[in-house]
């Protein structure tokens, strides 16, 4: 009888792996159903954002147009994680050609901001909410680059939903009400007036308006990206930053351009997994998967002690290399090919002791430790009826970022520059017009007729969460919803054996991991420490789209409705 059950179980897993994400699990062991439709879908971390993007699809827009609309709405409804004062990265999959494009819209430092400049002012460490942590925000330039190359709609269409809700207000949702106010930022210039009007924190169901943000978006509608980087808005932003002691100039804004980049990739058991190249951390996700591929993860069982041990140890090894070698490739060469080689992965995998956790790992020697902990980001994905996919991530870095709001702007500046190293000579050392090592990463994966755009936000959580999601899909045959919501682990530090783990992973597994030396902090329920994400999937053979949304935020995947006469 046991052999018969084992055979049936093996057959079920094999069947699920042959038809990824389309075969539901036996019984009801996921909390939400996938969205399934032959029309487009928008999966964003806030339901009004998903709805805004879906409305754009219904109006004839494509996946790019929907992504811009959804992102603009998240900047209004979730300003504690993103907004037009931050940066943006995106992967675009063009269904008709099968080509994958990458956009890096991360901003650079002011030209005059150098280690020497800071030392002349007696600054030995960057204040994470100080003006020197503010790099030129790239989000609006990123929208413009996406729209001009692949979009079909003007900003007057895609920004209209966000402008409406900014000027007329929206009712505060559950997660938003819980996350809205940062007490440490209350004295930052412009913060309280913008987000806590009249000194009253908006609560669940209260209406919140941000007319200043609506006006900023209207200026972008009227003048395009130039409003933000060259117009009256730019002058206002730069004047404000200089008043706070910043080295920013109008030229730093006017001369900024995002960069179209070639995505990097690896294979994982027949799937091709894409991330963006440095200055982002996506290379760590691919390195981690390469190491994991050398172990029979599926045979160990989902979220078993053995499978989790391999993933945790692979994370440490991959992140050690990322911390040593990754920075802005415009300033120093990055050994990308070497870091992604299967030979290196095999050597790194050989360092994993299945019986004992390693609390200190050394980076690879190819031909530091980071303490930046920003984890406040949004991720969204869109797919249109033709199968085009956008995988987009956008961030303030830590919460509201610096919390600094220029007069009349309606948005806070991020603090991405806090991630720079103030010791010279390293890949991530501070220099003028340089982009820092970035945590935010969109992702994409593909096999045969199936394409999936996915991402999970959360600082240094992201690469390890990506690897867990891919294993859920590939090794355990989960659909995109279940793969997103099952319990996860995260390790926010680069050294030590500490990590956090959701209690949905059984006590017996956590006990076994502790016996191997892992120092686990259990987190109940769906924990925000695990980040949150979304995923969309296109089955080209059947021309059907699927989507899943993480229950760890106010997310919701929204399908496009068909035309109604």
**Measuring CA to CA, which residue among 88, 174, 94 is closest to residue 378?**
88
- Name the residue with tokens 């006017």: 254
Positive or negative: CA dihedral 189, 219, 74, 489? negative
Give, to the nearest 10 degrees, the angle between helix 282-292 and helix 342-349. 70
Spatial neighbors of 24 by CB under 8 A, at least 6 apart, are 479
Burial class (CB in 10 A: 0-12, 13-18, 19+), 230: middle
Q: What secondary structure letter does DSSP report for 457? A: -
Instruction: Read off the tokens for 279.
Output: 């200055």
Edge to edge, the sheet with strand 443-447 lists 35-37, 544-549, 533-539, 450-456, 443-447, 271-275, 264-268
CA dist., res. 186 & res. 188, Å (int): 6
Smallest Cα–Cα separation from 213: which of 145, 262, 140?
140
Distance CA 382, CA 489 (A): 26
Angle, CA of 113, 114 and 119, to the nearest 5°: 110
Burial 195-209 (b: 16+ CB within 10 A, else e): bbeeeeebeeeeebb
Is residue 103 classed as helix, strand or coil in its secondary structure?
strand
Torsion of CA 554, 224, 226, 214, to 10 degrees: -50
Handedness of CA 21, 27, 29, 35 (dihedral sign): positive
Beta bridge partners of 22: none
Q: Which SS3 state, helix, strand or coil, does residue 361 take?
A: coil
For the record, the structure tokens of 383 come out as: 């797919």
* Residue 469: alpha-carbon gap to chain centroid: 13
Q: Indicate the burial class of 258 (C-beta count within 10 angstroms; 0-12, 13-18, 19 or more).
A: buried
Q: Beta strand 376-383 with 41-44: parallel, antiparallel or unpaired?
A: antiparallel
Q: Is 377 one of the catalytic residues?
A: yes
- Select which of 109, 114, 266, 377 is catalytic: 377
What does the alpha-carbon distance between residue 515 and residue 511 come to, in Å, rounded to a whole number? 6
Residue 474: both structure tokens together? 């590939």
d(CA 563, CA 557): 19
Scored b (16 or more CB within 10 A) or e, 471-493 reads bbbbbbbbbbbbbbbbbbbbbee
SS3 of residue 421 by DSSP = strand
Question: What are the DSSP calls for 390-401, one per residue?
Answer: EEEEEEEESTTT
Q: Which two tokens stand for residue 243?
A: 């008043």
Catalytic machinery residues: 377
């Amino acid at each position: 009888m046991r052999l018969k059950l084992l055979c049936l179980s093996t057959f079920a897993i094999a069947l699920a792996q042959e038809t990824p994400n389309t075969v539901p699990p036996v019984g009801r062991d996921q909390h939400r159903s996938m969205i399934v439709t032959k029309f487009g879908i928008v999966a964003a971390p806030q339901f009004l954002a998903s709805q805004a993007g879906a409305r754009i699809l219904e109006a004839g827009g494509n996946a790019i147009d929907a992504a811009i609309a959804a992102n603009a709405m998240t900047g209004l409804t979730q300003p504690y994680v993103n907004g037009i004062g931050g940066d943006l990265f995106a992967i675009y999959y063009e269904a008709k050609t099968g080509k994958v494009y990458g956009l890096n819209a991360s901003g650079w430092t002011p030209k005059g901001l150098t280690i020497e400049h800071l030392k002349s002012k007696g600054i030995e460490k960057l204040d994470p909410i100080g003006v020197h942590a503010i790099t030129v925000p790239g989000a609006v330039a990123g929208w413009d680059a996406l729209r001009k190359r692949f979009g079909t709609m003007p900003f007057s269409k895609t920004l209209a939903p966000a402008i409406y809700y900014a000027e007329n207000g929206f009712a505060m949702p559950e997660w938003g009400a819980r996350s809205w106010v940062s007490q440490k930022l209350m004295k930052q210039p412009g913060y309280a007036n913008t987000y806590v009007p009249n000194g009253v924190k908006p609560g669940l169901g209260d209406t919140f308006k941000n007319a200043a943000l609506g006006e900023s978006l209207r200026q972008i509608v009227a003048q395009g990206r130039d409003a933000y980087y060259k117009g009256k808005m730019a002058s206002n932003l730069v004047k404000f930053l200089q008043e706070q002691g910043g080295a920013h100039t109008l030229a730093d804004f006017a001369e900024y351009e995002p960069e179209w980049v070639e995505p990097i990739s690896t294979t994982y058991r027949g799937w091709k997994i894409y991330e963006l190249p440095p200055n982002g951390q996506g290379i760590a996700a691919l390195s981690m998967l390469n190491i994991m591929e050398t172990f029979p993860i599926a045979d160990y069982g989902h979220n078993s002690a053995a499978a989790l041990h391999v993933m945790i140890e692979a994370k440490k090894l991959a992140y050690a290399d990322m911390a040593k070698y990754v920075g802005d490739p415009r300033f120093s060469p990055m050994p990308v090919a070497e870091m992604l080689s299967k030979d290196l992965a095999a050597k790194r995998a050989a360092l994993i002791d299945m019986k004992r956790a390693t609390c200190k790992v050394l980076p690879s020697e190819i031909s530091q430790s980071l303490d930046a902990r920003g984890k406040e980001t949004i991720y969204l994905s869109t797919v249109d009826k033709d199968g085009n996919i956008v995988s987009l991530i956008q961030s303030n870095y830590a919460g509201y970022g610096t919390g600094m709001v220029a007069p009349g702007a309606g948005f806070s500046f991020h603090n991405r520059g806090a991630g720079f190293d103030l010791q010279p000579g390293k890949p991530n050392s501070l220099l003028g017009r340089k982009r820092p090592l970035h945590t935010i990463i969109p992702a994409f994966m593909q096999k045969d007729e199936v394409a999936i755009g996915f991402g999970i936000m959360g600082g240094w959580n992201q690469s390890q969460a990506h690897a867990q999601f891919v294993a859920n899909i590939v090794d355990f045959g989960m659909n995109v919803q279940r793969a997103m919501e099952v319990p996860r682990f995260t390790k926010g530090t680069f050294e030590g054996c500490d990590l956090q783990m959701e209690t949905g992973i059984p006590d017996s597994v956590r006990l076994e991991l502790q016996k191997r030396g892992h120092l686990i902090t259990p987190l109940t329920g769906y924990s925000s420490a695990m980040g949150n994400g979304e995923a969309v999937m296109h089955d080209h053979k059947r021309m059907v789209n699927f989507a899943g949304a993480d229950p760890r935020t106010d997310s919701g995947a929204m399908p496009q409705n068909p035309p109604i006469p």
